[in-house]
Amino acid sequence: MSRDPDLDLLEAWRTGDERAAGELLQKYSPLVRRVVARKVPDEAIDGVVDRVIEAVIKGHCGFRADSKFRTFILSITKRSIAEFYRQRERKPDFDALASSVRDLGVSPSGLLFKREQQRLLLEALRSIPLGDQILLELYEWEDMPASELAQVYECGVPAIRSRLRRAKERLKEAARSFVEDRRELVDTVTTLDEWLRHLREELRPHYLAELRAAKKAP
């Protein structure tokens, strides 16, 4: 496996190179925002993203560089989303990743979609456990291999592959519940991987617009 070029930037950052620090944070800020978006209320996105960046800045020296920098920052992102809900619920042992976005009371997306299947699939994603939703999005939308996902979820590769299969089954079941009375939408379930890719492309302009708006905010 080739060396992660981000580690060279990380080493420079650790020696006080602010340019390297800025380059790394700028590179991964859009990814962090994509992962956080649709997982917490819209008004909380900026705060959770800021929390992730602050944790990366504080913890970068402790990162052992035994995995890709991307896995380091995504592990922090996953924990920060869970911590947001633990603080909101005021329950230190609350397992937010076992609850769905819908169960956590996040309002349905107001996005407009070209195809009804895509809206339904997003709602199905929002109805499975948050940990599974993040896992599927990293795998399907961010092209993360099982080896990296295993590091983010702190388990072995066989375990993460099993979890991926279970997450897909949960998503299929959720999708079926949304389309059971609409035979014309049954392909949402039968071609799940394809529709996940279509949904990613449909959401891409929205993420870019949100990112531009965040950069303009004071």
CATH number, domain with residue 117: 1.10.1740.10
Query: Does the pLDDT value for residue 211 go beyond 90?
Result: no
The whole-number pLDDT of residue 110 equals 61
Q: Is residue 201 scored above 60 in pLDDT?
A: yes
Q: For residue 15, is pLDDT > 80?
A: yes
pLDDT, tens digit (0-9, with 9 covering 90-100), for 147-186: 999 999 999 999 999 999 999 999 988 888 877 656 555 5
The phi, psi pair for 144, rounded to 5°, reads -85, 130
Number of independent structural domains in the chain: 1
What's residue 6's pLDDT? 93
**How high is the pLDDT of residue 175?**
82
**What number is the average pLDDT over the span 30-48?**
92
Q: pLDDT digit string (tens) for 114-130?
A: 677 777 888 889 999 99
Q: How confident is the model at residue 198 (pLDDT cuts 50, 70, 90)?
A: confident
Q: Tell me how far CA of residue 155 lies from CA of 42, 129, 147, 160, in angstroms.
A: 31, 18, 10, 7
Within 10 angstroms of residue 199's Cβ, the number of other Cβ atoms is 23
Q: Is the per-residue pLDDT at 21 higher than 80? A: yes
- pLDDT of 215 reads 61
Q: What is the pLDDT of residue 58?
A: 94
Closest by Cα among 23, 26, 29, 67 to 48? 29
What would the pLDDT profile of 96-152 be if each residue is shown by its tens digit?
999 999 999 887 666 656 677 777 888 889 999 999 999 999 999 999 999 999 999
- Average pLDDT over the chain, rounded to an integer: 86
Q: What is the pLDDT of residue 96?
A: 94
C-beta separation of 85 from 96 below 8 A: yes
Q: State the pLDDT confidence band at 91, using cuts at 50, 70 and 90.
A: confident
Domain that holds residue 19: 5-216
pTM, to two decimals: 0.87
Higher pLDDT, 213 or 53: 53
**Mean pLDDT (whole number) for 61-83:** 93
CB-CB contact of 188 with 175 (8 Å): yes
